Amino acid sequence: MTSTGPAVRRWRGMVGRDPGEPHRAATSLELFFDLCFVIAVAQASGSLRGALTDGNYATGSLRFALVFFTIWWAWMNFTWFASAYDPDDVPYRLTVFAQITGSLVLAAGVRRAFEDGDLRVITLGYVVLRTALAGLWLRAALSDPARRRTTLRFATGVTVCQLGWVGLLFLPATLRLPGIVVMIVAELSVPVWAQSAGMTPWHPHHIAERYELFTLIVLGESAAAATVAVRNAFDRHHATGSLYAVAAGGLLMAYAMWWLYFARPAHTLLATTHQAHRRRFPWAYGHYLIFASATAEGAGLAAYADHVTRHSGASSPAAGAAVSVPAAVFLITLWAVHLRPHQKSAAERIPYPVAAVGILLAAWSPAPALAAGALLAVLVAVVTVRRR
């Protein structure tokens, strides 16, 4: 259930919201923000599919990891900011619109980044996104004296990082990849450094809901990408057993991934306790792999459908790995950051890594999508029965 809140005002003080506020839910503006980010997610998924179909597994995966980092990091930072500070006044809404504009510019640059390694457009969109957020942090610093050190650290760190990303464009090509690694480490360090000066008043239930909604988005995008690819494959060829296996396996995986993610409530891990505060960074950062692997799964299924219609006989392990590796990464990361803290015994934990190994081995099976989907479905059945 979303909340639109009270009528918009021209200006409100950006004081921290109450972390214990009852019935805190995602707003319609946050949902609009997410839906616009879907465009960038879809572009990343489609570009990864093209790279996998052409056999550019290493280069395509590396570029996807970088592109998806910019999407995820921009989304995540705004999500945590909005959970702590959301006055829903006119300046705030306009600043969020500026971030949405940046996300659309970023989406427009994804294909160039994949095909030519041209980072200019994607960097422009990312800088627009992050600079707008730095402005919000400065506004919070003016309105919330108690947390001024934290908010100023955020504003400073975000601004310096954007200068670094722009500077990367002027580096020689040979130094660009090491520079990107340095910038990613710097970006990841900003929240840790900033919140060492004091915690922002984020809301556990609100954060959990925001992550759940984005999980639904990437799972839906993955299912959509795979569906379109299988449909196109059926249009090019008469129905074959391999295509039916891809379709069935893709459905099983989507259903099982949803089931496993929503098997346990996230907000209980994020409750405002000392242990939860230590857990928040692994949980929040670990979702990069959850979101990225769910998106990559759709691209892998689409690439495998292309492989089936362009080749005869059994698929190569490399093509099967495009399906099995993202599924295994999703499962093991989901278990490590989202499910394992709830589990008390080894018997509860063992099925997850065992299933992940089985999914990786499914790349060598005649129907990797169906095999991986079946293993995930079996895991869902096992953990559901055991929980009873």
Higher-pLDDT residue of 316 and 111 is 111
Residue range 318-346: average pLDDT?
89
Distance CA 46, CA 229 (A): 10
User: What Cα–Cα distance (Å) separates residue 170 from each residue in 49, 118, 128, 166, 227?
Assistant: 29, 12, 18, 8, 41
Does the pLDDT of residue 48 top 80, yes or no? yes
Does the pLDDT of residue 166 top 60, yes or no? yes
Residue 72 pLDDT grade (very low, low, confident, very high; cuts 50, 70, 90): very high
User: What Cα–Cα distance (Å) separates residue 144 from each residue in 133, 138, 325?
Assistant: 16, 10, 45
Distance CA 370, CA 15 (A): 51
pLDDT one-digit tens code per residue, 182-194: 999 999 999 999 9
130 Cβ partners below 8 Å, 6+ apart?
A: 74, 77, 102, 158, 161, 162
Distance CA 64, CA 111 (A): 10
Compute the Cα dihedral for 200, 204, 205, 209 and give only its sign. Answer: positive
Residue 94: Cβ within 10 Å count:
10
Q: What is the pLDDT, as a whole number, of residue 314?
A: 43
Rounded to the nearest 10 degrees, what angle do helices 368-387 and 351-361 cross at? Answer: 170
Distance CA 201, CA 14 (A): 12
- Among 216, 82, 73, smallest CA distance to 136 is for 82
pLDDT one-digit tens code per residue, 282-321: 899 999 999 999 999 999 998 888 888 875 444 588 889 9
Residue 55 pLDDT grade (very low, low, confident, very high; cuts 50, 70, 90): confident
DSSP H helices, the chain, are 28-53, 57-84, 90-116, 120-143, 148-168, 173-195, 204-236, 241-261, 274-310, 317-334, 346-349, 351-361, 368-387
User: What tokens does 142 get?
Assistant: 């003016």
Among 19-28, 159-168, 229-238, the least confident range:
229-238
Model-level pTM? 0.91
Task: Kindly list the structural domains of the chain, giving each domain's residue range(s) and its CATH number in brackets, ordered by start.
Answer: 28-195 (no CATH), 204-387 (1.20.1410)
Q: What percentage of the chain has pLDDT greater than the value 70?
A: 92
- Among 295, 283, 316, 209, smallest CA distance to 253 is for 295
What residues does 27 pair with on adjacent strands?
3
Three-state DSSP at 314 gives coil
For residue 337, the 8-state DSSP code is I
Compute the Cα dihedral for 384, 301, 50, 31 and give only its sign. Answer: negative
